[in-house]
Amino acid sequence: MTQQKKSESRLVKDQLSQWHELTKELGKGGQGVVYRTSDPEILVKMPLKNHKEITDKAEVKQFQEQIESLYLLPLNNDMHITRPLYLLEERAGYVMQMMQDMQPIGDWLPQKISNLAKKEQSKYKPPVWLNKDVALETAYPLAMYAKNGGTKRRLELLAQATIELLRLHSVGVVFMDVSPDNIYCSMAPEHSEVWMIDADNLRFEVVNAKSGVITPQYGAPEVVKGEDGARVVSDAYSLSLLAFKMLTMSGAFDGQRFVDAQDDEDDWAADDSENEDASLEVQAEQGRLPFIFDAEDDSNRKAANGLPSHLVLTPSLLGFFQKMFGEGRTAPWQRPSLHSLPRLLASAADSSIQCRCGMSYYYQHSNPEQSCPYCNHQYQKLLVVNSYFCTSEGASEMAWTWVSPFIDGQDLRLPRRLSGCFDIDNHNAPMLEINQVEQDWFMYVSAEDIRVDVTDNSGHFRPLISQWLLERQQLEEGVQLYLHAPYSIVIEIKVYKNNAI
């Protein structure tokens, strides 16, 4: 859907005889248009056919029956998806609830300065950390990337978006039309709540389907070509396209071939007759172009667009995308399971250091100095938390790493995923909290179902009851905790000076 600015005010009535005043066109696509109403908590969705509202009585009835069938799907209250509240009376459309303080995830995609009014363009000033020689067309999307939380914020939102999609898949339901305008996220940086809208196309997965609903640039190749309908694997592919573009500011297939075609002022097409006259965009959507980081084929390698992969992708995330858009591009059954993605994204987010410039960067444990590659700022101290699976022979395999600037007066909440168990329902809930009161630091367990032992002055473990007074010296020397459940885990918490990490 593309966002619109204004719409003529008009009234529609729902099946409960309630009138709704349509005040603004929120988004419009080939399948429908969403309106804001005079009630800030209510939206109205009306389907389109050939870019016009449906008026034929038989088609209106068919649409209403389609929406009513959604109530038969095994959806529950834990699933963050907005469902129709009421159908419109004698016309195609329905009423749904508006998510307060949320915005479409598409707002985190690369922004163009040309989309601003000329007056706003003239007021824009690039951030001071950008080289003055950087063109405005390049500087503006980078500034918006930073303004919207950098890589760390995107990782957090994408992890939760993946979890919401997995909740649907867990009951055999596919979303079908994963797109930037159908996923809404918390605007406030302290929250990472995600909701999915536009439930019109929810379906049980069907093996022999030959059609599906897609948004251009975000459809799986087999659905684009009409070879298969919407499946769990096509949902996974669509979400991966969105995630890759959000993180890197580049499309998964916008590689050197696109640049060469622009330089030659001529589109590229393959030599065989089957592909003749097919644009690069069409070839990309049909899965006929290699991934820009393809492990086997570098003919469409990454060009000088977007952000460098090492700044925004961990090796594990890059490997996931290489498998999804490499082997999985033409062979859906070889795509990596979406179940692994939330953990990869959350792990990357926890290893990220949020800089004051708005961007973020990955913690490098072997580097004695951690500085922002964008503005060169260094925090004086970092709190680094490492957890290890514990065996009879002692701590062994690394379970998780969590990093944060260590700043006076800033309370810290360590998430449950440090325990070695990644539960999609509770992974982000606080497990341990470290709070400062005047010059003292206190630690306490905020998860009631987890038993934690701490080391005493003699180096022995004892149960942590109530709260534990920590001296700054203890934090700088490092403290160890032992978690009994769900796994045996040793957690090391230590404050490092930035030139001695």
Structural domain boundaries of the chain?
10-98, 107-250+309-345, 379-500
Token pair of 144, please?
């918006």
Q: Is the pTM of this model over 0.85?
A: yes
What's the rounded mean pLDDT across residues 47-69?
Answer: 91
More confident residue, 499 or 74: 74
Structure confidence at residue 265 (pLDDT): 54
pLDDT band, very low/low/confident/very high, at 475 (cuts 50, 70, 90): confident
Residue percentage of the chain with pLDDT more than 90: 58
Q: Are 81 and 164 in contact (CB under 8 A)?
A: yes
Q: Say whether pLDDT at 104 is over 80.
A: yes
Q: Are 202 and 174 in contact (CB under 8 A)?
A: yes
379-500 has which CATH code? Answer: 2.60.200
At residue 476, the 3 state secondary structure works out as helix
Token pair of 284, please?
């990309």
Residue type, 267: D
pLDDT band, very low/low/confident/very high, at 212 (cuts 50, 70, 90): confident
Structure confidence at residue 116 (pLDDT): 87
Measured CA to CA in angstroms, residue 198 lies from 90, 96, 195, 246, 345 at distances of 20, 9, 10, 21, 25
Q: Hey, which CATH number is domain 10-98, 3.30.200.20, 2.170.120.12, 3.50.50.60, 3.90.25.10?
A: 3.30.200.20
Structure confidence at residue 122 (pLDDT): 84
Q: Say whether pLDDT at 489 is over 70.
A: yes
Distance CA 301, CA 297 (A): 8
More confident residue, 436 or 394: 436
Dihedral sign, Cα of residue 176, residue 181, residue 185, residue 189: positive
Q: Say whether pLDDT at 4 is over 70.
A: no
- Tens digits of residue pLDDT in 388-433: 998 777 667 899 999 999 998 889 999 999 998 999 999 999 999 9
Structure confidence at residue 460 (pLDDT): 78
107-250+309-345 has which CATH code? Answer: 1.10.510.10
Token pair of 224, please?
């684009």
What's the rounded mean pLDDT across residues 475-479?
Answer: 88
pLDDT band, very low/low/confident/very high, at 273 (cuts 50, 70, 90): very low
Q: Say whether pLDDT at 224 is over 80.
A: yes
Structure confidence at residue 7 (pLDDT): 47
Token pair of 126, please?
């690039």
Q: Say whether pLDDT at 1 is over 70.
A: no
More confident residue, 230 or 333: 333
